[in-house]
């Protein structure tokens, strides 16, 4: 049996999964990862924990399956780490993609929005890596001088892990992760000197750029044949390799991606344009809608509010009431992403009465995912001119039947759940399999996708319009 190891380092956990050549899961190893909140709007993680947990998961998989042929890495994107070139020690905590500390700096650079957008497909926003790098260089004692002297290295989580897994021999990233740094020119597929000057970042910090399938070195003599950002990995794991296909992942945040083909186009409706994948010179770009809080809202209700003991219990609690009793939950804990891009907005509960129960708030938190997705879907259809007939969904929250049914109801669209919900790790595994010759290419990969079940709209258009109108009114009260 051909065995592939996928390293899936996410915001909430570090995992390693062993897949067969046909995509069956043979073993899963996982450790939860904690977030650190030093100040309001700041979100960090301990890079040493990220590395230690990931290595532990890899070793656990190798203990059960020592005959791994190839490794693929996928990761939380934008999260920024700078480390010492000699020792490998981080100079500061990882600044997580959700972090908003550079909001004022982004405002100061607003006159440069056009050039940033045209070169990168992104908005000038704290979400992306560039302003996080600048913050570390400007605020960590000695970091600026060490960087100028060529003593430090920058990487998103993929690069940080790769450098350590290869014993410091390989400092590289793939172009999907690079396309989320706000330093990468998506037209020329290179680091952009104008942007490096704008953000005052030495080029020597940056990793080497590679395609998704490439020689990324070895770990314990096992070749690392692929790296890819988590949302692009899910796009591949969902088989969305044809223009017009679309997937939405519901993890800590929600990320909807539409394959728009081999040429980049800028959105006219506040979406991002990123590289979807590049394999053997074959590339695809995506429109992406990024929502910062999805499953994290359910975690908040569990951990901070004590509404239930496990996230799975949220569905039963939400089903104990027929509707939200007029409650809307806008989970803008770290600002609003697409299509609003309002980093200063914070979360809100609207429509509370003396009759509001925990069940109403929980149901509103689940229903918010459908409303947020519809915001993205309307923008994508307007930008692409493509009438999407079905949405492929994945991520932990996609297992919640109430959420997925309401998603179908609000989108008025078929929602498909794949047989393997581990689509992010699976995408990385498939790319590694291409690199090792197990698959010939992306077309082979797309034929592996199969459907577990589908949800279909079950409410009438009048009720759909009333519900969504209430959501839009809630949003506009906050912006």
Q: Biggest alpha carbon distance in the chain?
A: 64
CA distance linking residue 273 with residue 221, whole number of Å: 37
pLDDT of residue 230: 93
Name the residue among 122, 46, 418, 450 with its Cα closest to residue 289: 122
pLDDT of residue 448: 84
CA distance linking residue 233 with residue 268, whole number of Å: 25
pLDDT of residue 255: 87
pLDDT of residue 422: 86
**What residue has token string 């740094």?**
181
Does domain 3-231 bear CATH number 3.40.630.30? Answer: no
Per-residue confidence in pLDDT tens, the chain, 479 aa: 899 999 999 998 999 999 998 889 999 999 999 999 999 889 999 999 999 999 999 999 999 999 999 999 999 999 999 999 999 999 999 999 989 999 999 999 999 999 999 999 999 999 899 999 999 999 999 999 999 999 999 999 999 999 999 999 999 999 999 999 999 999 999 999 999 999 999 999 999 999 999 999 999 999 999 999 999 999 999 999 988 889 998 988 888 999 999 999 999 988 999 999 999 999 999 999 988 888 999 999 999 999 999 999 999 999 999 999 999 999 999 888 888 888 889 999 999 999 999 999 999 999 999 999 999 988 888 888 887 888 999 888 888 999 999 999 999 999 999 988 789 999 999 999 999 999 988 888 888 888 899 999 999 999 999 999 999 999 999 98
pLDDT of residue 48: 97
pLDDT of residue 270: 87
CA distance linking residue 42 with residue 97, whole number of Å: 10
């Amino acid at each position: 049996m051909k065995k592939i190891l996928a390293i899936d380092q996410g915001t909430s956990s570090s995992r390693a999964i062993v897949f067969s050549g046909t995509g069956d899961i043979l073993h899963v190893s996982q450790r939860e990862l904690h977030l650190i909140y030093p100040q309001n709007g700041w979100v960090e993680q301990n890079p040493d924990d990220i590395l230690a947990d990931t290595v532990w998961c890899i070793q656990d998989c190798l203990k059960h399956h020592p005959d791994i042929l190839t490794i693929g890495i996928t990761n939380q994107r934008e999260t920024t780490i700078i480390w010492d070139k000699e020792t490998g020690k981080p100079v500061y905590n990882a600044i997580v993609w959700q972090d908003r500390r550079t909001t004022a700096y982004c405002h100061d650079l607003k006159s440069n929005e056009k050039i940033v957008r045209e070169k990168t497909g992104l908005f000038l926003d704290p979400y992306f890596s560039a302003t996080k790098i600048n913050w570390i260089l400007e605020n960590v004692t000695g970091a600026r001088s060490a960087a100028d002297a060529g003593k430090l290295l920058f990487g998103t989580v993929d690069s940080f892990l790769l450098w350590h897994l290869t014993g410091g021999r390989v400092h590289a990233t793939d172009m999907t992760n690079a396309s989320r740094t706000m330093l990468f020119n998506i037209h020329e597929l290179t680091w952009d000197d104008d942007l490096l000057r704008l953000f005052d970042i030495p080029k020597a910090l940056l990793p080497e750029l590679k395609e998704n399938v490439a020689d990324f070195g070895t770990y314990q003599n096992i070749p690392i044949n692929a790296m890819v950002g988590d949302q692009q990995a899910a796009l591949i794991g969902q088989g969305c390799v044809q223009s017009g296909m679309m997937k939405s992942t519901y993890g800590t945040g929600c990320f909807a991606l539409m394959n728009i083909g081999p040429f980049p186009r800028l959105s006219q409706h506040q979406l991002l344009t990123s590289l979807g994948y590049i394999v053997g010179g074959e590339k695809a770009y995506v429109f992406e809608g990024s929502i910062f809080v999805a499953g994290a809202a359910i975690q908040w209700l569990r951990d901070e509010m004590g509404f239930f003991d496990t996230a799975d219990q949220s569905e039963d609690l939400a089903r104990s009431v027929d509707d939200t009793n007029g409650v809307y939950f806008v989970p803008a804990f770290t600002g609003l992403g697409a299509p609003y891009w309002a980093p200063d907005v914070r979360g809100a509960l609207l429509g509370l009465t003396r009759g509001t129960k925990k069940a109403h708030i929980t149901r509103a938190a689940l229903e918010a995912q459908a409303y947020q997705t519809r915001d993205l879907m309307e923008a994508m259809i307007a930008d692409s001119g493509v009438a999407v007939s079905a949405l492929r969904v994945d991520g932990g929250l996609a297992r919640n039947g109430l959420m997925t049914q309401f998603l179908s109801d609000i989108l008025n669209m078929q929602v498909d759940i794949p047989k393997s919900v581990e689509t992010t790790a699976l995408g990385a595994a498939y790319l590694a399999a291409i690199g090792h010759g197990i698959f010939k290419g992306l077309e082979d990969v797309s034929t592996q996708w199969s459907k577990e079940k589908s949800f279909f709209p079950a409410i009438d258009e009048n009720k759909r319009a009333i519900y969504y109108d209430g959501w839009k009114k809630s949003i506009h009260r906050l912006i």
